[in-house]
Amino acid sequence: MAHSPMTDHDDAYDPTPDNSELEAHLQTKNMVINLGPSHPAMHGTVRMRVELDGEILAKVDTEIGFLHRGFQKSCESVTWTQVIPYTDRLNYVSALMNNFGYLNAVEKLMGIEIPERAKYIRVIGAELHRIADHLTATGALGLELGAFAAFLYGIEARELVADRVTELTGARLTTNFGRIGGCNRDLPPGWIEKTIKTLDRTIELADEVGGLLTRNRIFTDRCRGTGVITTEDALDHGFTGPCLRACGVNYDIRKAKPYWVYDRMKFDVPLGKNGDNLDRYLCRVEEIKQSVSIVRQALEQIPPGPVILDDWRIVLPPKEEVYSTIEGVMAHFKLVMEGVQVPVGEVYDSTEAANGELGWYLRSNGSGRPYKVHVRAPGFHILSGVGKMIEGRMLADLIPTFDTINMIGGEVEQ
């Protein structure tokens, strides 16, 4: 008689689960998803490998490098002056601050003092671009939390600033402005009046943005108490700029180590308390107002005079000298072909960029090209703390957090 397998189970087989099975804990495992590298909320091209336990962020692993361009090495194979357009591409939202920060470091290495008027132009340019940067960051924060109108007002103001920057530098985004020893051009005629009008309108628009967001229940609920970082952690990770000040640490290089003419400007450094997204947002909104005030003061105080040094070892001679005197053509030739001869040495210098301390470590071997260029991008250090800020919180908190740290791929990934 053939053996039937069914016979063994005839009694045991019962498709209905018993009670103990029904009451067992649901077996789940964490889900791993990719946020980015191509995602509208991932500014630039950052990949976040997010491990989700339900909607809770179990682990956030940030991966950068998709926008790596070999910035530092590129700088080392061109002349000191040719580095300036490369710096545009660091924090491309506020290129002027990169230009000026780099130039400030080179000038410190060379031990030269730029003319007064050039210092004012640098303060004006840097603050205009700080306004533009903060408007973008706050506008985009609203946008990504669903408040599209605020973004439009922010961008309208940013456009006005971009128009003034275009008139000053000739470019909207990649400004390539400033040269070793000062600025390559003076303020255009009538620019000061236009800029004052722009500032008036910018304040109005910034108030609109603030009005739409700051007292918006949905917005504040999503920002308050989310993305929190403690003061200790922020310091440990090397936070600077609005992200550090939102934790209540009063550190602003413009005050701590005043450069150019910041010591002559009256302005406050807004401080937060909780180190959460809302405080970072509020710091930025207030900084826009302070920057507007700085630009107004600078436009009032700006003295007449040259905007660049008169030393043909550093600065290109005027064109009429180049075309009609041998001295001019020689200086021009040597500066263009071999570059400004920067004395042997090394320097670290930093300025307060929109997102924090933009530091430059430069090293010269006495030639016309940098021997070493290293950039301390503020966003890099802040990005390193993003895991601490949101691990254990909700997935939805990641978006405002990533917005308020305002990581810029160009400078972080270089």
Partner 1 sequence: MSDEQKPVAPPAAPPGPPAKAPPKNPGMVTFTVDGREVIAKPGTNMVDAAKTVGVEIPFYCYHPRLSIAANCRMCLVEASNSPKLVPACQTAIGEGVAIKTATPKVKESQRAVMEFLLLNHPVDCAICDQAGECKLQDYYMRHDHKPSRLERVGGEGTSGMKVLRNKRKIIGPNVVLDQERCVLCTRCVRFMDEVAKEPQLGVFNRGSHEVIDVHPKYGALDNNYSGNVVDICPVGALLSRDFRFRARVWFLSAAPTVCTGCSNGCSVSADFMGQDVYRYRPRENEAINKSWMCDQGRPTYKAFHASRLLMPVIGKGADAREATNSEAVKYAAMKLKPLAGSVAFAVAPTVSNEDLMASFAFARDVLQSKTVYVTGRAPGAGDNFLMKADKNPNRKGLTWIAKGFGFELKTFADFTAALDKNAIKALYLVGSDVPEDAEVFAKRLAGVELVVAAAMHETPVTGAAHVQLPASSHIEDEGTFTQEAGITQRVRRAFPPRGESWPAWKWAVELGKELGGAAVYGTSREVFRTLAPQVAELKDYAWDKETPMNVKGQGNQTLPAGADGRPPGWREQGVPRIRGI
| Contacts to partner 1 by CB under 8 A | 77-79, 311-313, 317, 320-321, 323-331, 333-334, 337-338, 341, 369
Closest CA to 229 of 48, 408, 391: 391
Minimum distance, C-beta of residue 363 to partner 1, in the bound complex (Å): 16
Minimum distance, C-beta of residue 369 to partner 1, in the bound complex (Å): 6
Bridge partners for 361 per DSSP: 348, 374
Which runs of E-coded beta strand occur in 10-55?
31-35, 47-53
d(CA 77, CA 89): 17
Minimum distance, C-beta of residue 338 to partner 1, in the bound complex (Å): 7
Minimum distance, C-beta of residue 333 to partner 1, in the bound complex (Å): 5
Of 269 and 329, which has the nearer Cβ to partner 1?
A: 329
The two three-digit tokens of residue 305, written as one number: 């005079």
Of 268 and 310, which has the nearer Cβ to partner 1?
A: 310
Of 370 and 409, which has the nearer Cβ to partner 1?
A: 370
Of 148 and 323, which has the nearer Cβ to partner 1?
A: 323
d(CA 9, CA 126): 82
Q: 279 phi and psi, to 5 degrees?
A: -65, -40
Minimum distance, C-beta of residue 78 to partner 1, in the bound complex (Å): 5
d(CA 125, CA 400): 28
Of 231 and 367, which has the nearer Cβ to partner 1?
A: 367
Of 301 and 365, which has the nearer Cβ to partner 1?
A: 365
Of 321 and 391, which has the nearer Cβ to partner 1?
A: 321
Minimum distance, C-beta of residue 122 to partner 1, in the bound complex (Å): 25
Is residue 109 within 8 Å of 343, Cβ to Cβ? Answer: yes
Of 270 and 328, which has the nearer Cβ to partner 1?
A: 328
Of 180 and 390, which has the nearer Cβ to partner 1?
A: 180
Buried b (16+ CB within 10 A) or exposed e, 216-244: beebeebbeebbbbeeeebeebbbbbbbb
Instruction: Read off the amino acid at residue 268.
Output: D
* DSSP H helical ranges for 214-325: 217-223, 231-237, 242-245, 253-256, 277-301, 319-324
DSSP string of 306-320? -SB---TTTSPPPHH
Is residue 41 within 8 Å of 35, Cβ to Cβ? Answer: yes
Of 144 and 321, which has the nearer Cβ to partner 1?
A: 321
Question: Burial, 187: exposed, middle or buried (Cβ in 10 Å; 0-12, 13-18, 19+)?
Answer: buried
Minimum distance, C-beta of residue 323 to partner 1, in the bound complex (Å): 6
Minimum distance, C-beta of residue 335 to partner 1, in the bound complex (Å): 8
| Beta sheet of 345-353, edge-to-edge order | 345-353, 356-364, 372-376
Minimum distance, C-beta of residue 327 to partner 1, in the bound complex (Å): 5
DSSP, collapsed to helix, strand or coil, labels residue 2 as coil
Minimum distance, C-beta of residue 228 to partner 1, in the bound complex (Å): 43
Of 180 and 246, which has the nearer Cβ to partner 1?
A: 180
Is residue 107 within 8 Å of 349, Cβ to Cβ? Answer: no
CB atoms under 10 Å from CB of 346, counted, come to: 12
d(CA 111, CA 113): 7
Minimum distance, C-beta of residue 362 to partner 1, in the bound complex (Å): 16
